[in-house]
């Protein structure tokens, strides 16, 4: 089991999730974050922290977001750990509104 970052994170990267993760399993590029499934302990703490509801338990992934399970695992492996909260991406607030949050 793991938790998965999905498409709403892209272009937002609010990083509130990182601040509560006890095991530093978030990795990131310039667009979004990804969870390393080998490190995630399934605590669920990150889910309510995301202002755009981008994080799901893999067992509850919406159909349209299923591709992110594999992508998180693949991409997290080769990207740096993001262990500290930082500024959201420029345009994150606008994207958040567009997403309906
Ligand atoms: Fe980190 Fe827990 Fe979220 Fe997994 S479920 S990414 S361990 S905060
Ligand atoms: Fe992305 Fe939400 Fe975390 S926007 S960086 S999953 S708080």
Quote the domain boundaries for residue 29. 3-82
For residue 48 and ligand 1, the question of a CB distance below 6 A is answered with no
2-51 confidence digits (pLDDT tens)? 999 999 999 999 999 999 999 999 999 999 999 999 999 999 999 999 99
Residue 64 in domain: yes
For the chain, the domain total comes to: 1
Our mutation pick for probing the ligand 2 site, out of 3, 6, 8, 15, counting the most ligand atoms within 8 A of Cβ, is 15
Contacts of residue 94, defined as CB under 8 A and 6 or more positions apart, other chains included, come to none
Confidence (pTM): 0.98
| Count of positions (residues) in the chain | 101
Question: At 19, phi and psi to the nearest 5?
Answer: -65, -25
Residue 65 in domain: yes
Given CA atoms 72, 80, 24, 89 in this order, what sign does their dihedral have? negative
- Hey, whose CA ends up nearest to atom 2 of ligand 1? 43
């Amino acid at each position: 089991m793991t938790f998965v970052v999905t498409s709403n994170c892209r272009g937002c990267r609010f990083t509130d999730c990182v601040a509560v993760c006890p095991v530093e399993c978030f990795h990131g590029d310039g667009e979004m974050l990804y969870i390393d499934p080998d490190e995630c302990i399934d605590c669920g703490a990150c889910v309510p922290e995301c202002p755009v509801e981008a994080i799901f338990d893999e067992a509850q992934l919406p159909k349209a977001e299923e591709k992110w399970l594999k992508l998180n695992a693949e991409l997290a492996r080769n990207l740096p750990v993001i262990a500290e909260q930082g500024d959201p991406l420029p345009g994150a607030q606008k994207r958040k509104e567009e997403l309906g949050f």
